[in-house]
Chains A and B, each alone.
Chain A
Amino acid sequence: MRRAVESGMMTAVENVMGIPVILQASGRSFEPEAIDRAFAWLRSVDEKFSTYRHDSEISRLNRHELSLEDAEASVLSVLMQCERLRGQTRGYFDVTASGRAPGEVDPSGFVKGWALEGAARILRSAGAESWCVNGGGDIRLAGAPPGADAWRVGVQHPRRRDALAAVLALRDGAVATSGEYERGRHIIDPHTGGPPQGVLSVTIVGWNLALADAYATAAFAMGRPGAEWAATLPRHGAIVIFDDDTISYSATVEPYLAASVADTGATESFTAGSVSAGSSAKG
């Protein structure tokens, strides 16, 4: 009985940063208060970075009430990482294009993953051996749930509510998905200003949620060619679902694909993957 409790998972849900965040953790020496600390951290990030908050550092920067030199170190660090990602993604991940007005920045596409990554670090340093941080479907996890060898992550088919496009088995990693609607707003191709063409969703499997999230956003914004680009990312896997219902799996994601999704509506879409240039198909 005690052992059952010991080996159990602590789970908590809270709405932060405009998304529901689920924290799960277990470990023989895990300190449960870490869950409160992790949520407190997420709330503090939201206070600093939200463009919906009048008094956030980002809002004040955008109103020119605050200069970059006077901004908090974390704000500067985040904006620099965003800038680096802009170069790395050939401008497809661009926090200066996502602002609500020209000249404004909205780094929330990076901040969410970055904040969740920080929450994961808090859980881990508090002794969590198995844990899962889930922010509205973007996930950072390690270990395995009770009784399992790995976390099984379903990749929702963006069009068919009753189908999974794939199932991943992971023991340490980050999974982020970008789709046509993300947190209530459109992802646009910053080069054309219009919505990307030909792609329904991009799922990136990596090791850092901030990066995985930014890469997923960028690859989605690229439209169809995004699949090829994503397949070239070192140490990242990609699952791209096209609007003709074909799916491409990068070679790097194959080791994480769970063997079977039998008995589900997902089988069909799972095996219906087709080859897209630069990536290998499953099935």
Chain B
Amino acid sequence: MIGNKRLAFIRRALGTAATIALVVVLVVIYIRSSGKGTGAKIVLPAESRSASRQTRGGSGSGVGAGRAGAGEESQQEGPAGPRSSASGRESGGEEGSGGAAASSEGSGGGGSASPQAKRSGSGAGVSGTFTGPVIETPYGPVQVAIDEQNGKLVDVKAVQLPTEHPQSLFISERVAPILRSEALQAQSAEINVVTGATFTSEGFASSLQKALLKAS
């Protein structure tokens, strides 16, 4: 039998890992979509220890992505796939004050995505290492870097994972390899989001639980 305390620890640990996993996947997507020369800016809200926020510079081409048939509550509709949505996008050529995103403020080491190699043009065929911004999570800062070769994601590395508390450190060590493969596979299929069982799945939970039980 597992004691209640240990169960509580595992539950907390799973929550921690899930948050970190989501942040890592998100940042990888962010680096890949923002690093194409537009100089992305990061805004971390001042109040936020728990929330981290990014304003993402898009790829510069018109991406107004018009939504079709917006309506009020779409209660009568089924889900809309790309084929069923009419006419698609308008070009987002609006001028405006985009000034709000220009500052990097608040707690905890925000920074802009800083490619160590220049990305150019359409993003096809770039190679190099790209480091993402530091993201504050409730468990501590997370920062990842990706390696690309000829525009393909070949590796995801954790530059920084939470180490403040023994629990976080422990999670970071155990979870990092899982995160890496997860981020890699999500990106290789050009995925924006993942639904699962993903972060709460039997496989993830039980392998993590085993690791935790062995060590505690």
Q: Contact string, A157-198, partner B, CB cutoff 8 A, digits 1/0?
A: 011111110011111111111111111100000000000000
Q: Does B204 contact A (CB under 8 A)?
A: yes
**What is the bound-complex CA distance between A280 and B185, given in angstroms?**
27
A261 and B189 form a contact (CB under 8 A): yes
Q: Does B100 contact A (CB under 8 A)?
A: yes
Q: Does B149 contact A (CB under 8 A)?
A: no
**What is the bound-complex CA distance between A206 and B15, given in angstroms?**
27
Which of A86-94, A102-110, A137-145, A222-230 is found at the contact surface with chain B? A137-145
Which of B45-53, B108-116, B124-132, B155-163 is found at the contact surface with chain A? B45-53
B50 and A172 form a contact (CB under 8 A): no
Q: Contact string, B166-189, partner A, CB cutoff 8 A, digits 1/0?
A: 000000000000100110111011
Q: Does B201 contact A (CB under 8 A)?
A: yes
* Residues of B in contact, count (CB < 8 Å): 87
A6 and B94 form a contact (CB under 8 A): yes
Which residue of chain B lies nearest to A1 when distances are taken between CB atoms in the complex? Answer: B38
Given A154-B193, A161-B182, A181-B202, are A170 and B54 neighbors across the interface (CB < 8 Å)? Answer: no
List the B side residues contacting A263 at CB < 8 Å.
188-189
**What is the bound-complex CA distance between A237 and B78, given in angstroms?**
9
Q: Does A99 contact B (CB under 8 A)?
A: no
B195 and A177 form a contact (CB under 8 A): yes
A181 and B192 form a contact (CB under 8 A): no
Given A143-B67, A263-B188, A265-B185, are A150 and B98 neighbors across the interface (CB < 8 Å)? Answer: no
B192 and A132 form a contact (CB under 8 A): yes
List the B side residues contacting A1 at CB < 8 Å.
38-39, 57, 98
Q: Contact string, B75-109, partner A, CB cutoff 8 A, digits 1/0?
A: 10111111111001100111111101100000000
List the B side residues contacting A154 at CB < 8 Å.
186, 189, 191, 193-195
B26 and A22 form a contact (CB under 8 A): yes
Q: Does A19 contact B (CB under 8 A)?
A: yes
List the A side residues contacting B82 at CB < 8 Å.
149-150, 169-171
B89 and A176 form a contact (CB under 8 A): no
**What is the bound-complex CA distance between A163 and B204, given in angstroms?**
13
B55 and A256 form a contact (CB under 8 A): no
**What is the bound-complex CA distance between A130 and B194, given in angstroms?**
17
Q: Specify which of B66, B94, B198 is in contact with A3 (CB 8 Å cutoff).
A: B94
**What is the bound-complex CA distance between A265 and B184, given in angstroms?**
11
Q: Which residues of chain A from 1 to 18 have a CB within 8 Å of any chain B CB? A: 1-15, 18
**What is the bound-complex CA distance between A201 and B202, given in angstroms?**
10
A143 and B50 form a contact (CB under 8 A): no
* Residues of A in contact, count (CB < 8 Å): 93
List the B side residues contacting A264 at CB < 8 Å.
185, 188-189
Which residue of chain B lies nearest to A149 when distances are taken between CB atoms in the complex? Answer: B82
B194 and A147 form a contact (CB under 8 A): no
Which residue of chain A lies nearest to B191 when distances are taken between CB atoms in the complex? Answer: A154
A8 and B101 form a contact (CB under 8 A): yes
A13 and B64 form a contact (CB under 8 A): no
A137 and B39 form a contact (CB under 8 A): no
List the B side residues contacting A184 at CB < 8 Å.
10-11, 14, 200, 205
A181 and B81 form a contact (CB under 8 A): no
**What is the bound-complex CA distance between A174 and B73, given in angstroms?**
13
List the A side residues contacting B204 at CB < 8 Å.
161, 181
Given A11-B30, A18-B15, A180-B202, are A171 and B80 neighbors across the interface (CB < 8 Å)? Answer: yes
Q: Which 9 A-B pairs have the closest CB atoms?
A: A173-B79, A179-B197, A156-B196, A5-B98, A146-B58, A180-B202, A172-B80, A154-B191, A235-B78
Please name 25 pairs of A and B residues whose Cβ atoms are closer than 8 Å in the assembled complex, sorted by A: A1-B39, A2-B97, A4-B57, A6-B96, A8-B56, A35-B53, A39-B51, A137-B199, A139-B193, A150-B82, A150-B85, A151-B192, A155-B194, A156-B195, A158-B196, A158-B203, A161-B203, A162-B181, A164-B185, A164-B189, A164-B191, A181-B204, A201-B197, A237-B79, A264-B185
